[in-house]
């Protein structure tokens, strides 16, 4: 064989081999294929009205979070006709841009007008619900062609007497409205009953195959919110000292019966969510969890929660990052002031270790 023939044969073999390798590769996703939920995302809740670009960069680069739940709970006006607040929509777009630039998968969360004390007005008002559908359609229009990295959390903690039936109807209605505009991005749905695991028996799947189901976790609530007779963060020093995690936690009111709380009790509390996942073959996400810094045993509570989420292969978003002072991980437990110095606390170190395990 001549030298030229040998060279030709070698080139032919290389080309053939490359073609064979390519033929075994998985085909590229179709250009209009649905975007998928990240594998067990780990991150923080951030608040539209408070988050800064500097803080967002710090969360991504220093903490190494990979995701955020962006709470745009004031996007919808509280005044008739309950439309979208234009300056806040502009702020939302800017925050999403920064988050995506920093590699943070961004779950946009909205809240309807009248949420909370006036939620029954919302459930009984078709114009308010229509305005809320319109708000989500506007958000979807702005992100339908934006590429991967964004998801839609339809309502923060659906609640109220009308929530189970009305929320099931509205969640399907919102899903349909969004899918007419954006068939690709992930949708997130929380159960009625303030998004807690106990609400899953009352939740109906929307039927959308690219939907993730989320729950929030703050049990036992009197402990995580240091609740007393006068409300949240009003526990007496004596109650705080006597109610330590892990251990018996007794509600604040006279005559209440205490119950032992530990990781096994936490697992029991999320069982309705795990059963919903198994029954319907869906993905779960812990969209919120947290504990008041000065609760006795707050750090063990956080460590058990993180271990439980990861043991069950659940992504999570802590509540919250540089927002509510009582659950600000960067503040020392003994510092109860509303404003104070942030530092690399033991709680921050725990979270950074978990964020680094991905």
Question: Is 4 domain-assigned?
Answer: no
Band the pLDDT of 117: cuts 50, 70, 90. Answer: confident
Question: Is 145 domain-assigned?
Answer: yes
Which residues contact residue 130 at a Cβ distance below 8 angstroms, ignoring those fewer than 6 apart? none
Mean pLDDT of 343-347: 97
Q: Give the tens place of pLDDT for each residue, 271-307.
A: 999 999 999 999 999 999 999 999 999 999 999 999 9
Question: Is 155 domain-assigned?
Answer: yes
pLDDT for 316 equals 98
Count of Cβ atoms closer than 10 Å to residue 59 Cβ: 23
Question: Is 326 domain-assigned?
Answer: yes
Band the pLDDT of 27: cuts 50, 70, 90. Answer: very low
Q: How far is CA 60 from CA 20, 77, 256, 269, in A?
A: 40, 31, 43, 31
Residue 43 predicted with pLDDT over 90:
yes
Q: Give the tens place of pLDDT for each residue, 44-79.
A: 999 999 999 999 999 999 999 999 999 999 999 999
Band the pLDDT of 250: cuts 50, 70, 90. Answer: very high
Average pLDDT score over the chain: 92
Quickly tell me which residue has 């939920």 as its tokens.
37
pLDDT for 31 equals 65
Please, which contacts does 245-253 make with residues 24 or more away whose CB atoms are closer than 8 Å? 245/295, 245/296, 245/297, 245/298, 245/300, 245/301, 246/297, 246/300, 246/301, 246/304, 247/297, 249/220, 249/222, 249/223, 251/220, 251/222, 252/222, 252/227, 252/228, 253/229
Mean pLDDT of 37-49: 97
Domain count, the chain: 1
Q: Is the peptide bond before 246 cis (omega within 30 degrees of 0)?
A: yes
| Ranges assigned E (strand) in 2-159 | 42-47, 67-72, 105-110, 150-153
The Cα 84–Cα 90 span in angstroms is 10
The boundaries of the domain holding residue 316 are 34-356
Question: Is 58 domain-assigned?
Answer: yes
From the list 55, 41, 272, the residue with the least C-alpha distance to 151 is: 41
Q: Are 254 and 228 in contact (CB under 8 A)?
A: no
The Cα 59–Cα 50 span in angstroms is 14
Q: Give the tens place of pLDDT for each residue, 183-225.
A: 999 999 999 999 999 999 999 999 999 999 999 999 999 999 9
Half-sphere exposure of 273 (CA within 13 A, CB side): 29
The Cα 269–Cα 198 span in angstroms is 8
CATH number of the domain that residue 202 is part of = 3.20.20.80
From the list 180, 159, 173, 195, the residue with the least C-alpha distance to 272 is: 195
Question: Is 189 domain-assigned?
Answer: yes
Question: Is 25 domain-assigned?
Answer: no
Q: Could you tell me the pTM of the whole model?
A: 0.91
CA distance between the termini of the chain: 55
pLDDT for 21 equals 34
Question: Is 29 domain-assigned?
Answer: no
Q: Is the peptide bond before 220 cis (omega within 30 degrees of 0)?
A: yes
Residue 6 predicted with pLDDT over 80:
no
């Amino acid at each position: 064989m001549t030298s030229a023939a040998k060279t030709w044969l070698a080139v032919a073999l290389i080309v053939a081999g490359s073609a064979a390798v390519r033929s075994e590769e998985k085909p590229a996703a179709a250009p209009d294929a649905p975007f998928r939920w990240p594998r067990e995302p780990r991150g923080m809740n951030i608040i539209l009205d408070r988050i800064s670009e500097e803080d967002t960069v710090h969360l991504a680069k220093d903490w190494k979070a990979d995701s955020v739940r962006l709470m745009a709970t004031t996007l919808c006006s509280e005044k008739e006709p309950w439309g979208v607040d234009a300056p806040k929509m502009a702020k939302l777009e800017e925050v999403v841009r920064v988050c995506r630039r920093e590699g943070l998968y961004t779950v946009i969360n909205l809240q309807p007008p009248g949420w909370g004390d006036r939620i029954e007005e919302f459930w009984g008002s078709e114009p308010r619900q229509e305005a809320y559908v319109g708000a989500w359609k506007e958000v979807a229009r702005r992100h339908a062609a934006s590429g991967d990295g964004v998801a839609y959390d339809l309502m923060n903690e659906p609640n109220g007497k009308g929530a189970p039936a009305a929320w099931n109807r509205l969640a399907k209605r919102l899903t349909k409205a969004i899918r007419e505009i954006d068939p690709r991005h992930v949708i997130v749905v929380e159960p009625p009953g303030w998004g807690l695991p106990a609400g899953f028996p009352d939740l109906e799947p929307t039927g959308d195959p690219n939907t993730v189901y989320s729950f929030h976790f703050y049990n036992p609530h009197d402990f995580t919110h240091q609740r007393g007779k006068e409300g949240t963060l009003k526990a007496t020093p004596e109650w705080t000292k006597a109610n330590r995690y892990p251990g018996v936690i007794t509600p604040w009111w006279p005559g209440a019966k205490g119950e032992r709380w530990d990781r096994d009790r936490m697992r029991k509390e999320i069982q309705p969510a795990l059963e919903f996942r198994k029954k319907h073959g869906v993905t779960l996400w812990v969209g919120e969890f947290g504990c008041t810094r000065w609760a006795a045993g707050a750090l063990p509570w956080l460590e058990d929660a993180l271990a439980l989420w990861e043991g069950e292969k659940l992504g999570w978003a802590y509540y919250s990052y540089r927002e509510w002072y009582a659950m600000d991980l960067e503040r020392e437990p003994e510092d109860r002031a509303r404003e104070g110095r942030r530092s690399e606390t033991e709680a921050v170190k725990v979270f950074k270790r978990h964020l680094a395990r991905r």
